[in-house]
């Protein structure tokens, strides 16, 4: 029996361990079938997914689109630049009009925190949050968890460090909620100006010294500076100094445990938060994260749109 039976996926904060693992296990099934040569697993044949991206995106938008096609669904790529929102139409009116066309799932990315929650309250179409402001990015956290499980086999008891612009990062927030629920020991590190003053209330340790934070970690997740959400170079001396003190480079990576892995949600700013050598090293699981993103989003769309049993369509 499915543990995840929600109408929407808006965040990871209130997901239970069973719900999280239900999505992960479904994603594993999809990934295994793809690896066995099944290009399409049509559990959502005939269904329509509307991709509502009000912010620029490469990985997440393409990942959701490929995921939808992999489960046999059709996609409508909504572009805010080409839509009536440029004429003054509100997000709510836009969603209501799209709802009247009877699609099956809305996938929304928006610069305003809470935008997906607003849509979920005002209409009946299932909503998948693809990132809202600096609030949450649940599918990123789920794909990160899936990747960690592949390389570490378990999450409970692992030491996991998130480094960078924590204050403005929806990825950091969703990962903290998700990883804490799964029993990980989570720490954050960055310039003091980029750490929320109350971050430890989420049950994490905070550091401003990367060298002190990094030595006992099993997983290190690097984040870029979130310039579009308020992270600016006014919060640290220079990019060169940022890279020197908070970047994962050829020197700082030597402090890692031998079997520690390095993650990044992308897009990367090579030479700032992560060096080219580290990004392309054997420790890096950045591209496997991207691969797992498709499987996770297949699972999420499958769950939200009440897909057919996987065994019945292969």
Q: Indicate whether 132 and 145 sit together in one domain.
A: no
What is the percent of the chain where pLDDT is above 70? 94
Q: Indicate whether 246 and 235 sit together in one domain.
A: yes
Q: Indicate whether 182 and 242 sit together in one domain.
A: yes
Q: Indicate whether 142 and 262 sit together in one domain.
A: yes
Q: Could you give the CA distance from residue 42 to residue 89 in angstroms, rounded to a whole number?
A: 35
- Name beta bridge partners: 49: 75, 105
Q: Could you give the CA distance from residue 22 to residue 146 in angstroms, rounded to a whole number?
A: 11
Q: Indicate whether 268 and 162 sit together in one domain.
A: yes
Q: Which domain holds residue 107?
A: 17-136+290-313
Characterize the bridge pairing of strands 261-263 and 185-189: unpaired
- Name beta bridge partners: 221: 162, 263
The mean-pLDDT minimum among 85-89, 106-110, 222-226, 230-234 falls in: 230-234
Cis geometry, peptide bond prior to residue 267 (ω within 30 degrees of 0): yes
In a domain, 12, yes or no: no
Q: Indicate whether 130 and 21 sit together in one domain.
A: yes
The mean-pLDDT minimum among 6-10, 54-58, 205-209, 306-310 falls in: 54-58
The helix (H) or strand (E) run that includes residue 4 is none
CATH of the domain at 175: 3.40.50.1370
Q: What is the tally of structural domains in the chain?
A: 2
Contact 293, 63 (CB under 8 A): yes
Q: Indicate whether 148 and 231 sit together in one domain.
A: yes
Q: Indicate whether 92 and 39 sit together in one domain.
A: yes
Q: Indicate whether 177 and 261 sit together in one domain.
A: yes
In a domain, 45, yes or no: yes
DSSP state letters, 93-157: HHHHHHHHT--SEEEEEESSTTHHHHHHHH-SS-EEEEEETTTB-HHHHHHHHHHHHHHHS--TT
Contact 170, 132 (CB under 8 A): yes
Structure tokens that stand for 8 in this block: 């929407």
pLDDT tens sequence across 257-292: 999 999 999 999 999 999 999 999 999 999 999 999
pLDDT at 234: 62
Contact 231, 225 (CB under 8 A): yes
Contact 248, 274 (CB under 8 A): yes
In a domain, 4, yes or no: no
In a domain, 2, yes or no: no
pTM of this prediction?
A: 0.95
> For the chain, how far is it from start to end, CA to CA, in angstroms?
20
In a domain, 1, yes or no: no
Q: Indicate whether 280 and 145 sit together in one domain.
A: yes
Q: Indicate whether 53 and 117 sit together in one domain.
A: yes
Q: Could you give the CA distance from residue 71 to residue 215 in angstroms, rounded to a whole number?
A: 42
The helix (H) or strand (E) run that includes residue 204 is none
Q: What is the mean pLDDT of residues 181-197?
A: 96
Asked if the model's pLDDT at residue 143 lies above 80, the reply is yes
Instruction: Specify the higher pLDDT residue, 93 or 235.
Output: 93
| Mean pLDDT, rounded, of the chain | 93
Buried residues in 280-298 as b, exposed as e (16+ CB within 10 A): eeebbbbebbbbbbbbbbb
In a domain, 9, yes or no: no
Q: Could you give the CA distance from residue 187 to residue 208 in angstroms, rounded to a whole number?
A: 11
pLDDT tens sequence across 107-125: 999 999 999 999 999 999 9
∠ CA 63-253-153 to the nearest 5 degrees? Answer: 55
Q: Could you give the CA distance from residue 68 to residue 60 in angstroms, rounded to a whole number?
A: 12
In a domain, 10, yes or no: no
Residue found by looking up tokens 């005939």 in the block? 46
Cα 118 to chain centroid, rounded? 20
Assign 84 a pLDDT band (cuts: 50, 70, 90): low
Structure tokens that stand for 298 in this block: 């297949």
Cβ contacts of residue 282 below 8 Å, gap of 6+?
none
Q: Name the DSSP class of 11.
A: -
Q: What is the mean pLDDT of residues 186-199?
A: 94
In a domain, 5, yes or no: no
Q: Indicate whether 154 and 125 sit together in one domain.
A: no
Q: What is the mean pLDDT of residues 95-102?
A: 93
């Amino acid at each position: 029996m499915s543990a995840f039976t929600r109408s929407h996926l808006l965040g990871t904060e209130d997901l239970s361990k069973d719900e999280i693992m239900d999505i992960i296990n479904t994603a594993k099934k999809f990934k295994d079938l793809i690896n066995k040569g099944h290009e399409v697993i049509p559990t959502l044949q005939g269904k329509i997914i509307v991709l509502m991206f009000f912010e620029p995106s490469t990985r997440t938008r393409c990942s959701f689109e490929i995921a939808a096609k992999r489960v046999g669904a059709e996609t409508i790529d909504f572009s805010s630049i080409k839509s009536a929102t440029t004429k003054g139409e509100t997000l709510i009116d836009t969603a209501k009009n799209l709802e009247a066309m009877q699609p099956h799932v809305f996938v929304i990315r928006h610069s305003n925190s809470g935008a997906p929650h607003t849509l979920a309250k005002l209409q009946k179409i299932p909503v998948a949050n693809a990132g809202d402001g600096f609030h949450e990015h649940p599918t990123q956290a789920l794909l990160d968890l899936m990747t960690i499980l592949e390389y570490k086999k378990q999450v409970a008891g692992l030491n996991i460090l998130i480094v960078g612009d924590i204050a403005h990062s929806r990825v950091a927030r969703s990962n903290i909620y998700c990883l804490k629920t799964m029993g990980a020991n989570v720490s954050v590190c960055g310039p003091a100006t980029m750490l929320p003053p109350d971050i430890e209330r989420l049950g994490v340790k905070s550091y401003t010294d990367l060298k002190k934070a990094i030595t006992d970690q099993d997983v290190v997740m690097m984040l870029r500076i979130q310039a579009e959400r308020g992270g600016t170079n006014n919060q640290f001396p220079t990019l060169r100094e940022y890279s020197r003190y908070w970047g994962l480079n050829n020197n700082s990576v030597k402090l890692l445990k031998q079997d520690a892995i390095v993650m990044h949600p992308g897009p990367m700013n090579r030479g700032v938060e992560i060096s080219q050598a580290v990004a392309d090293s054997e420790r890096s699981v950045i591209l496997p994260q991207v691969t797992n993103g498709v499987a996770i989003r297949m699972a999420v769309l499958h769950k939200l749109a009440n897909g057919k049993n996987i065994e019945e369509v292969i």
